[in-house]
Amino acid sequence: METVEEKVKKIVIDLLGVEEDKVTLDAHFRNDLEADSLDLVELIMEFERQFGGEIKDEDAQKIETVGAASSTSRNACKRSVPHHSSGNPGALMAPRLIPRADSFAA
């Protein structure tokens, strides 16, 4: 199974068109990979799409390296998975059915 880091690296390579050997966890998007602000927005949107989570604006502004993008994407993905009230993070919540008020006999 592909790790978050591997997937982030593939996304960066595809969207920025850079060579694979340049994309390390320490690679700086602007300085090393020559990404501009539009590139960064597109990367954030693709990370959200691929990992199924939302990256908050304040978190997105802190992403300067491929490693930071990996950890932020991982955390966004974890936040998007609903947890069971038992506190067990592996247990997903099922939707709770609430009867409509007009379904009760008067």
**Span between the terminal Cα atoms of the chain, in Å:** 56
> What one-character DSSP code corresponds to residue 92?
P
Please give the pLDDT value at position 40: 96
Tell me the sheet residues that pair with 65.
28
**CA neighbor of 26 nearest in space, from 70, 56, 57:** 70
pLDDT in tens, 24-34: 999 999 999 99
Give per-residue pLDDT as tens, 66-87: 999 999 998 887 766 554 444 5
Q: How confident is the model at residue 59 (pLDDT cuts 50, 70, 90)?
A: very high
Query: Is 21 designated active site?
Result: no
pLDDT of residue 84: 47
With respect to CATH, is domain 4-80 assigned 1.20.120.1630? no
Q: Between residues 50 and 53, which one has the greater pLDDT?
A: 50
Query: Which stretches of 20-94 are DSSP H helices?
Result: 37-51, 57-60, 66-80
Which pLDDT does position 53 carry in this prediction? 83
Q: Catalytic: which of 36, 39, 57, 59?
A: 36
